[in-house]
Amino acid sequence: MRRFAPWIALVLVILFVTLVLGVRSVLVPANRPFEYGDGIRIQLLGISHEDVGGEERVTWGVEVINGTGRPLDLSVSSTCRHAASPWEESGPSALAERSGEEVGLPALLATSVADSCPSPESGRWWVYTLTLEDRTGGTGSRSVVFAGRAH
């Protein structure tokens, strides 16, 4: 097992770099907030595994804080992927089924956004991509990727 450790580390670094550069997103551990340089802050509030209407789903919620000093009109979308190779989408997220969500966020206030995806079992590692598009054109499109485990 020890002689495979350098290869595993190399593969993980390559995956991380590919994810960040190829997808143009930022990978954030599930227990840390992320702040864009322009004052938009995103914090993962929780990840859980539950039965929703007879279907097993992983659910998650984030808080979006507008520290820009001006109102934002955001279009929010997301995807969920199993964090095991290959990274496969678990199926359409609830936000994707609704074609995203429109959020009006006044200056210096926060709101929460929740989503869920089909999940075969509890305890899996997940990668959640949240994309915020500012419809006013002030900040452009932003994506952040949270990695975490649903229980």
- CATH assignment at residue 38: 2.60.40.10
Is the model's pLDDT at 55 over the cut of 80?
A: yes
Is residue 55 in some structural domain?
Answer: yes
Domain span at residue 102?
A: 26-149
132 in a structural domain: yes
Task: Let me know if residue 65 belongs to a domain.
Answer: yes
For residue 106, what pLDDT band results from cuts at 50, 70 and 90? very high
> Would 137 be classed as within a structural domain?
yes
In a domain, 18, yes or no: no
Residue 131 lies in a domain: yes
Count up the domains in the chain and report the number: 1
Tell whether the model's pLDDT for residue 27 goes beyond 90.
no
Confidence tier at 23 by pLDDT (50, 70, 90)? very low
Q: Give the helix ranges, DSSP H, for the chain.
A: 5-23, 94-97
DSSP E strand stretches across 5-109: 26-29, 34-35, 40-52, 55-66, 72-82, 101-105
Which distant-in-sequence residues (6+ apart) come within 8 Å of 110 by Cβ? Answer: 63, 64, 65, 66
Residue with more model confidence, 52 or 112: 112
- Whether 83 is in a domain gets the answer yes
- Domain membership of residue 47 (yes or no) is yes
pLDDT of residue 87: 58
